Structure 1
């Protein structure tokens, strides 16, 4: 048996394969380009070559269409759910609930096409944590040296400004007048009083020393033995009186200098002032009012409270606010030391206050830090 093999030249083979290669290269590209521009903007494509209509607001998708031209199967959102835009989602969004415990009430009920609208109660304003999360915070009260520029509303906190004849220095309102002139007047007055006191002290010391020296010279000579006569006893008493006078004069001058330089040089705007001690409980509750619950744990961790201490506080106090109070109290007691002890009366001193404000700013809560500074007069 003989087998015959047909011979084909390379040129003929190339001519035969060219159409096949071109078809493989261009057909997928043409198909992809046609898919991108098939569906109009109001439709969506569940699969290649098929365009389906989106569901209207207030509806959700149950079943997609099977071919272009058919309609998607959409049904209304269930009760207490909504959808506020065209969609092809299979679930509607849950309506918000206005909560009494969060100091809010309902001003617009939830519908199939819109969410519930809540508003903060009187005396509270809306503080936005992020784009969708907020909490109602108590409106700020203007201090005695300030007045309301804008009253507190459900959307904005109170805005305060200095009263007439007051100006703001280091976030505090001070009586009007040039601070440099006030400083100069205090300095001149202090120097005048100081000069008068020093003059009186020098005159008294000179008088007593001269009197003692004169009496001692009259009663005692180098060749005479020391006696214990009444006159000598009187000189000794004068000497003791002079010594006591020197001691108390020195004490008085020290006290005078310290109070004088403190009153003259601690003027507003001239150097930093150490924050005054505040009662711990008042400060902690203010922090809890200003910082959201999820952020309190982050704050206490930055302040050095250990996770075991946080867990223990949560076990000991079921109420979230009291647990958070205990966490901040652990930090404050640790920093205050034995000198700050005392039930309910711990004093939180300058370094701890500065640490708290610094950590709040690290957490991007600069507004809370500023409000604490305004409330407690921290400069």
Structure 2
């Protein structure tokens, strides 16, 4: 029997390495796996079990580039006669699902990982939301990376109830409990690198630095806490987007040498281990993988009560949830964990147990493999 051909498509290669690598490794045992992304001038990954293809997919709206990419994808899909096209990220979803539909690909799967239009208004919101509706209409199967995101998409009429499902309890790739774990050596090393005393209390933000992550509110909260906790350190790791570092320095510069910027890091596990509290006051998240990684490292979180994060954090058990864009309540929640070391320890232990039990990589990767088996079995019966 010929092996079925699966094709993953993402806008940027980083999504492949961050979210799909383990899925691809597992599925390559049973299927011929292809990956399409915008590799540009960088060399394609060398993997004898996986075929990588370059298509110039633009992240932003670019009508001429997008139209050219659409036709390129239709041609590739017809040439390789894929049994499945599986898209992740919004632009790859829109172009990938439309091209797969036009090329007659029988199984077309899109995995929603968050909606950029949640924080938009007016025409911009309408256009981006309509794009998600078009993705849903062109796909044969839909996945969401959290139950609350699934429910949100149904309420917002992006898709009908029953058309979209979640693998396990959520998350697109789960968490590696061996990589993300309490690590006293990494904790000491990171603190030494940033000049943070071993007994200091550290609040960590790790992720892309932009307005949607709630960093403006977090900066104000940290300034308010500084007056009460003069030994508190704020460690920020992640790539700057839109001059956010400059803004944070202008608001929270009074922290002085207790304000630390790392930039992009390839070892987020070390920074999680160095922290006492993880904070993600985001306006929008599909799931909040960084919260899950902090949890696996035994670090409790303060996060916003939005879809996605309500699945990643069990309020009052593995962390605390606050309303988005609410500086007073964010400050109160952070103060509660700063003042109560016993509560931090209890929540940190509960967070790690919950992360490994419900969101392990083995469970999520196995869940997607089972999903494919079920989809193909249903097609054989049809």
> Do these two structures clear the TM 0.5 threshold for a shared fold by scoring above it?
no
Per chain length, whose mean CA-contact separation is higher, i.e. which structure has more relative contact order (CA < 8 Å, sep 6+)? 2
Structure showing greater Rg: 1
TM (norm. structure 2) is 0.21
